[in-house]
Amino acid sequence: MHNFLRWSISVSLITLLCTISYLFWDIEIALFFHALNDTQSHDVFNIITGFGESQWYLGAGVLLFVVFRRRNRFRSYLGLFMSLSVAVSGVSADIIKYVAGRARPILYFSDKLYGFNPFHYEYEWISFPSGHATTAFSAAMVLLILYPRWRILFLAAGACIAFSRIFLTEHYLSDVIAGSFLGFVSTFLLYHFYFKTQFDVSEFK
């Protein structure tokens, strides 16, 4: 009951935060970064945003699982945990993107289009939630669970990747908030209901 209450409060707060951002902050923040003329920073964040691509984590996870499958059960499950977490969160994000059909900032800059057009999967209409933020926080949560000593580093890295999507005006703030939360939740649930019984986290500390 307590867990259900905590999750209900968390989801409600994130929903409220995304709603407030959608109504009052998203456009202003997007316009601010769109108006920036900082080529050097843009180049840096273009590199950072690449670390939000799911294929890196899927590939690394599968490789770990295959290489250590018969040598080190814990390391092999780390790879499986990483690849499944990123895959599950990514598929979830893609489904929500299709159902929501939210316009990306580029459509506001060009045609003042802002809002939702459900069940569209064209690139310009899949802004919510941010897939890069989802992947970044899913991967960060895997590492945080297994290596809690470095949690600040992992969360900071995830936040930096997520922020890059706002800086590059690929997403609105609310897209990034929702994606980050989705990555966090999906990984936590996957760990709690399956991987928690498969290995002792203390092995990784």
User: Under the phi-then-psi rule, with left for phi > 0, alpha for psi from -120 to 50, and beta for the rest, what region is 169?
Assistant: left
Distance CA 131, CA 41 (A): 22
Amino acid found at 1: M
Q: Per-residue pLDDT for 174 more than 60?
A: yes
CATH code of the domain containing 51: 1.20.144
Distance CA 104, CA 130 (A): 10
b/e map 159-192, b = 16+ CB within 10 Å: bbbbbbbbbbbbbbbbbbbbbbbbbbbbbbebbe
Half-sphere exposure of 119 (CA within 13 A, CB side): 0
**For position 87, what pLDDT does the model report?**
98
Structural domain span for residue 63? 2-204
Per-residue pLDDT tens for 113-142?
999 999 988 999 999 999 999 999 999 999
- How many other C-beta atoms are found inside a 10 Å radius of the C-beta of residue 15? 13
Into how many domains does the chain fold? 1
Half-sphere exposure of 27 (CA within 13 A, CB side): 11
Lowest model confidence (mean pLDDT) among 28-32, 158-162, 172-176, 190-194:
190-194
| Average pLDDT of span 5-29 | 95
**What's the whole-model pTM score?**
0.94
Amino acid found at 36: L
